[in-house]
Chain A
Amino acid sequence: MAGEVLVVAEQVNSQVANVTLELLGEGKKLARKLGSPLSCFVIGHNMEAAVDAVIRAGAEKVYLADHPELAEYKTLHYRRVILDELSSWATPPHTLLMGSTTTGRDLAPRVAAFFETGLTADTIELDIGPYEHTSGIDQTKIGYFPECLYASRPSFGESLKARILGPWKDPQMATIRPGVFAKPEMLTEKPEGVEIKKVAINFQPSDYRITIKETLRELEGKIDITAADVIVAGGYGLGSADGVNLLKDLAACFENSVVGASRKIVDLGWMTYPYQVGQTGKTVRPKIYIACGISGALQHRVGMQKSELIIAINRDPDAPIFSFADQGIVGDVYHVIPEMIKQLQEKNTSKLAELKVK
């Protein structure tokens, strides 16, 4: 039988990160396909509420490492408890999932390198399916594998999306950005009989080579574009950093709205990373997404295609964004956006008038 589907939980101040819950939701589907249990590795200190949350999100077995030294994420300490525990298993997990956060990207490659197993970064789709390896110099790799982890991600190369798999060695690993999968329905009551295994903790002197001096959590985490109903996003077509003001003015016309950005303009420093939408930024699902001067590259599209209504403004009628937007305006952002603002303000006045009549 295939091994477990294991999600390594992420926590801040003993609270489970959303990405962990999202991975449990998606992990459950994989576990059902494999006929394996869905388990969750919880690491931290004072983790009772966290354990409760992961169980209500679908974990059927919990591995718990609770220790004051683990209160905050530390590469070598976290690495130690995971490697010690997994090394003691007769059957390794079939699948191991972590968030593609600064933490997951620090830890997952170390685990993968230790087990010499494959790791797919920034996955946007997960599934279980067969694979037949028919040729290659390494004869030992040839064979039919009925149950592989399929991890798909946009690729930089000639084609647009690539399915990556590695059935030769378990655990088959992937990291996934927050927001890619929907949060599962949380059970209101904790189901009975979920096994909570306290894992052995044996830190080695070498684990103390890294120490945390100070942790500052601030603003950046508070900017959360995923909660907005309306996102006015800009791309390189804005022409310069000043163009961002245009976005802000348009966004100001809507309730619960925020501005967003393509990676190109984040890389250029016109906007900051918390506003980036896409494969390596945020995945958003607003009611309305207005894309201004964004070409619609796949890496951008995967972060916003689930928006309810997509309006695209681009001066190139062949821009890829028009292949998946709902409403397309072929025109210059510097003509179209001011016109939008003007008409919205008129609407606003007429709405106000209406209200007054009532």
Chain B
Amino acid sequence: MNKDLDIYVLIKQVPDTRSKAGVNPDGTIDRAKAGKMLNPFDAFALQAGLNAKKMGGPNSRLFAVTMGPPPAIDILYQTLEHGADATCILSDRRLAASDTLATAYALCRTLEYLFKKNGRKADLIFCGLQTTDGDTAQVGPEISERLDFTQVTYCEDFSISDNLLHAKKIIEGGTQLVSAELPALVTIANSYTKLKFKSLRGAQFVQDVKRASKEEQAKYVEIIDLDKCEADEMRCGLNGSPTIVSKTWKIGVVGGNCKMHQGKAASELVSEVFKDAVMLKEFVKI
């Protein structure tokens, strides 16, 4: 049997792009209007964490960690419903405008705070492959570099034996089977098993936690700030970010000379276009 594992899942709350609210047709987001949801990629990471916990010894533990404004506590409750043992959010105004490097730094401080509190380092850290709002896929590997963990990105499936993670991962034009010593950081691809439905017991448990006293709640959802995890504020937020957005554009109509065909029967519209698009002829199959 495998040893007991301490497993951490790193998750993020992102604007909800499933509904139309706040999503402009040009792909931009009105953050004020948009709802919030668990980053869809992180749902796979959560399932990976739950599966890994079953692979470990009977005293294995699963922790969910996020960084963000207080409403992000919602997604921590979600992980509790699914079976996480405890969760933690790093929330601090001084984190605003963090780029990936500053985010990785702050999350590492949070993780190290938790390692100390929980009495030992993580064996496994799972992240979603990327977020839907930043889409960089950088924070995971930046954390493994800082913690000197091994790393498997684009992981589609895995098992654990002894001190090794055996993983199937996506590479350019194919897949690869690798073994990585623990502790390891793993980013989970969205081809991994979908997040299972939460259990009734999990849902009931979260209801109870939400009704419990502040101290009782803090056992399951701990809220910390930069001071608590001894993070250097000069390395967080805008200060700690080596990059800055110096300029943004609205890319408007480029040519604006699209020839429009409308208000007629489809047959007419199509023949108009075929008449205009002379080039098409060259490629029609005989």
A106: CB under 8 A from chain B?
yes
Residues of B close to A222: CB separation below 8 A: 173
B71: CB under 8 A from chain A?
no
Q: Name the residue on A nearest B175 (C-beta).
A: A216
Main secondary structure of the interface of B (DSSP, over half): mixed
Are B242 and A117 interface neighbours, CB within 8 A?
yes
A313 to chain B, nearest CB (A): 9
B117: CB under 8 A from chain A?
no
Are A323 and B29 interface neighbours, CB within 8 A?
no
Which one of B27, B166, B251 has the greatest number of beta carbons of chain A within 10 Å? B27
Q: Please measure, in the bound complex, the distance between the C-alpha atom of A75 and the C-alpha atom of B142, giving whole angstroms.
A: 13
Q: Mark A95-134, 1 if CB is under 8 A from B, else 0.
A: 0000001110111111011101111111000000001010
Are A322 and B258 interface neighbours, CB within 8 A?
yes
Are A156 and B135 interface neighbours, CB within 8 A?
yes
For this complex, into which size category does the number of interface residues on chain B fall?
35 or more
Which one of A109, A296, A305, A339 has the greatest number of beta carbons of chain B within 10 Å? A109
A137: CB under 8 A from chain B?
yes
B33 to chain A, nearest CB (A): 11
A337 to chain B, nearest CB (A): 9
A283: CB under 8 A from chain B?
no
Within 16-43 of B, Cβ neighbours of A (below 8 Å) are at 25-31, 40
B143 to chain A, nearest CB (A): 8
Residues of B close to A169: CB separation below 8 A: 242
Are B243 and A212 interface neighbours, CB within 8 A?
no
Q: Please measure, in the bound complex, the distance between the C-alpha atom of A326 and the C-alpha atom of B148, giving whole angstroms.
A: 52
Are A252 and B285 interface neighbours, CB within 8 A?
yes
A329 to chain B, nearest CB (A): 5
A229: CB under 8 A from chain B?
yes
A352: CB under 8 A from chain B?
yes
Q: Mark B250-286, 1 if CB is under 8 A from A, else 0.
A: 1111111111111100110111011011011111111
A172 to chain B, nearest CB (A): 9
A110 to chain B, nearest CB (A): 4
Are B153 and A327 interface neighbours, CB within 8 A?
no
Query: Which of the segments A31-39, A52-60, A342-350 contacts the partner chain?
Result: A342-350
B119: CB under 8 A from chain A?
no
B180: CB under 8 A from chain A?
yes
A162: CB under 8 A from chain B?
yes
B151: CB under 8 A from chain A?
yes
For this complex, into which size category does the number of interface residues on chain A fall?
35 or more
Are B29 and A329 interface neighbours, CB within 8 A?
no
Residues of B close to A328: CB separation below 8 A: 258-262
Are A287 and B145 interface neighbours, CB within 8 A?
no
Within 101-146 of B, Cβ neighbours of A (below 8 Å) are at 101, 104, 132-146
Q: Name the residue on A nearest B138 (C-beta).
A: A109
Q: Mark B156-191, 1 if CB is under 8 A from A, else 0.
A: 000000000010001111111111110000000010
A336: CB under 8 A from chain B?
yes
Are B254 and A323 interface neighbours, CB within 8 A?
yes
Are B28 and A157 interface neighbours, CB within 8 A?
yes
B47: CB under 8 A from chain A?
no
Q: Please measure, in the bound complex, the distance between the C-alpha atom of A240 and the C-alpha atom of B194, giving whole angstroms.
A: 20
A186: CB under 8 A from chain B?
no
Q: Please measure, in the bound complex, the distance between the C-alpha atom of A308 and the C-alpha atom of B274, giving whole angstroms.
A: 15
Q: Please measure, in the bound complex, the distance between the C-alpha atom of A253 and the C-alpha atom of B35, giving whole angstroms.
A: 43
Query: Which of the segments A86-94, A187-195, A241-249, A254-262 contacts the partner chain?
Result: A254-262
B93: CB under 8 A from chain A?
no
Main secondary structure of the interface of A (DSSP, over half): mixed
Give the residue of B101, B133, B245 whose beta carbon is less than 8 angstroms from that of A112: B101
Residues of B close to A342: CB separation below 8 A: 267
Q: Name the residue on B nearest A312 (C-beta).
A: B258
Q: Name the residue on B nearest A174 (C-beta).
A: B243
B154: CB under 8 A from chain A?
yes
B128 to chain A, nearest CB (A): 13
Q: Mark A169-181, 1 if CB is under 8 A from B, else 0.
A: 1000000000000
Are B284 and A330 interface neighbours, CB within 8 A?
no
A199: CB under 8 A from chain B?
no
Given contacts A118-B243, A299-B27, A351-B286, contact A330 B176 (CB under 8 A): no
Q: Please measure, in the bound complex, the distance between the C-alpha atom of A299 and the C-alpha atom of B282, giving whole angstroms.
A: 30
Q: Mark B228-256, 1 if CB is under 8 A from A, else 0.
A: 00000010001101111111111111111
B78: CB under 8 A from chain A?
no
B161 to chain A, nearest CB (A): 13
Q: Other CB < 8 Å A-B pairs besides A118-B243, A267-B190, 16 of them?
A: A102-B154, A105-B137, A105-B138, A119-B101, A156-B29, A157-B29, A158-B30, A162-B247, A166-B242, A214-B177, A217-B171, A322-B258, A324-B254, A327-B259, A331-B269, A355-B286
Listed A/B pairs (23) with beta-carbon separation below 8 Å: A10-B172, A109-B100, A118-B99, A121-B135, A121-B136, A156-B29, A156-B132, A158-B28, A159-B28, A206-B148, A212-B176, A213-B176, A214-B177, A215-B177, A216-B175, A230-B283, A254-B283, A298-B28, A312-B258, A326-B259, A329-B273, A336-B266, A342-B267
Q: 6 nearest interchain CB pairs?
A: A221-B173, A297-B27, A118-B243, A217-B174, A330-B262, A159-B248
